[in-house]
Structure formats: structure tokens, C-alpha cells
Structure 1
């Protein structure tokens, strides 16, 4: 059973288990606080943070984990060593549902993606 079709990020978060919703909400809030020029929206039925329509961060919840995507294989490659403790794929990595946010990592990932978009 997948996530039901949602209209807003709040709908998406409401469809999740509380711990997953809390972690995703905390990531979104942190990124938007650190980078107030960015905006969050729902795209492909998952939360996405963007800059003038260009995707910066994508988040999704799955049965046993969350995923974080900087929408860039180059950023993922550049951060390979710092992501060594995570399950890493070509364009995203898995987070525990109860992940204690690594603010430095998130800040650096977003900065790297924004630099790539310039």
C-alpha cells in the first residue's frame, strides 16, 4: 500500500506515522529556516524544496526508512565519505525514521546543490 495522493505537504505528513512525519517536518523546517529564499511544495506526491522551480531537496517516507535526495548525482558523489554511515544510492540516501538531524550535513548538502544550480 502506497501513500495516498495528497494535495499539500501537510496532507502528506498527516498520512505518515508520527515519527516519520516529525522527522520530515524537522528537516523541512531546518532547511527553510537556514535558506529562507527556498520554498517547499508537494511534487510527485512527496515534499520537495526548491529554488525558483529548480529542485534542491526531495524527501520521502517508506516502510522502514526515509530518503533524502539532493537531486544531483554530483552532490551525492562529492558527499560519499560523509554519507558512509547511510545506505546510499546514485541520487539519494536513506535516513532512519527517527534520525537526529545533522544540521551541518544538511546545510552543506543544500549549499552544494544551490552552488550547482547557479
Structure 2
């Protein structure tokens, strides 16, 4: 988790910082084979050099970015969980609990779907 220390220190709101740290620690513990890193000033996790999931913060939410394929695959579940989403990210509001089961499914999907991917992003 030390790789994320500088990023976390830049989050002014303590509740947002704690939530972000909780989510990043959960991913780190749940998926120890993923590589945590900072790229484009955002925390993310990769597997064999390919992007799996990334995060960013805003005033209203923690954004989770499973790539477009992940959004398409889970769009119904994202809506059922009560989350708003765009083409590239899911918005986890700060004042709502994190649906870790949905997050786990998105990460597992990308790990399996990108198992043979040799590029950072899907083509």
C-alpha cells in the first residue's frame, strides 16, 4: 500500500481519504497477485502489465474505472446497486456503502477477460 501513500495524502477530506484507503487496501488484500501502481496520477492495479482497474476521487464520489468492457458487462448490476456510471467509470458516492461484491466481480472479470492480453488497454 505504500505505493499509494502520496496519492492518499493529497486527499483533503479525511472521510474521502479513509474510504479510498479502505477500498485500495481491500483490493490489495483480496487480489494479492495484482500489481498496485500510480499512473496518470491515479491509483490502479495491473496484472502481467495489463490494466485491471483504476480509481480516482472527486468531491461527490470515488470513481472506479474497469474499462469500457467492464462497464458494458456489468451495466445492469451497476444500476441495480444504485450507482451512476458513464462509458468509462462507476461513481461510488462518498455517503453510500461500497458494494464490494460488485467491485470483486468487475476485477475478476477483467483478470479473466484480459488473461491473454499483451497490451495495457484493450484493443
Common fold, TM-score beyond 0.5?
A: yes
**Rounded Cα–Cα distance in structure 2 between residues aligned with 1:22 and 1:37:** 23
Mapped contact 2:92–2:98 kept (Cα < 8 A):
no
Residue matched to 2:16 = 20
Moved over 3 A (4+): none
The TM-score with structure 1 as length reference comes to: 0.85
Q: Post-superposition shift, 1:53?
A: 2.1
Residue matched to 1:75 = 70
The TM-score with structure 2 as length reference comes to: 0.82
Q: Post-superposition shift, 1:47?
A: 0.5
Q: Post-superposition shift, 1:21?
A: 1.3
Mapped contact 1:87–1:94 kept (Cα < 8 A):
yes
Residue matched to 2:54 = 58
Residue matched to 1:4 = none
Q: Write the mapping of 1:24-35 to structure 2, written as runs, cut at 5 A.
A: 24-35=20-31
Q: Post-superposition shift, 1:52?
A: 2.4
CA RMSD of aligned residues (A): 1.3
**Which runs of 5 or more residues in structure 2 are unaligned?**
116-123
**Which runs of 5 or more residues in structure 1 are unaligned?**
1-7
Higher helix share: 2
Report how many aligned residue pairs link the two structures. 110
